[in-house]
Amino acid sequence: MAYGCYVLRNNQRIEYDYTFTNGILDIAKVINNTKRKRLLSTDVREFEIMAPTSDEGFLRMLNHKGIEQKFNYFLNRGGGLYYAVFMHEGKKSLLVFEPSDMLVQLVKIYNPRNVKTR
């Protein structure tokens, strides 16, 4: 029982790290600033759309029957959330994440037609 509490406590501090290099967005889960697990890597040029979750298209995409995979990689449910639709491993996917303003602008450079900002 004590070991279970120890493991549970040590896995409580979770962060998501977004790394952007030459048009590739890598997302990793960081646990207690020590363990790092790679979750997703995708080319932002393949985004069909990237927009704030406050955009009218978000709910439509969230319930779209063609979306086969959903990735929710964020901590705060408040403002600042974006969604992106893209193909990942042959499946249409929806990503909800919390990019910084700088990351949004960098993605817009690589895919200007499909990125909406606030």
pLDDT digits (tens, 9 = 90+) for 15-52: 999 999 999 999 999 999 889 999 999 999 999 999 99
pLDDT of residue 5: 47
pTM of this structure: 0.86
Domains in the chain: how many in total? Answer: 1
Angle, vertex CA 19, rays to CA 26 and CA 42, nearest 5 = 25
Q: Rounded to whole angstroms, how far apart are CA atoms 19 and 29?
A: 11
Q: Rounded to whole angstroms, how far apart are CA atoms 7 and 71?
A: 25
**Which residue's structure tokens are 């290099």?**
21
User: 17 lies in which domain range?
Assistant: 2-114
pLDDT digits (tens, 9 = 90+) for 44-92: 999 999 999 999 999 999 999 999 999 999 988 777 999 999 999 999 9
Tokens of 27: 């997302």
pLDDT of residue 87: 96
pLDDT of residue 81: 96
**11 has a pLDDT exceeding 80:** no
Alpha helices in the chain (DSSP H): 2-10, 57-62, 101-110
pLDDT of residue 15: 93
Residues 6+ apart with CB under 8 A from 15: 29, 30, 33, 75
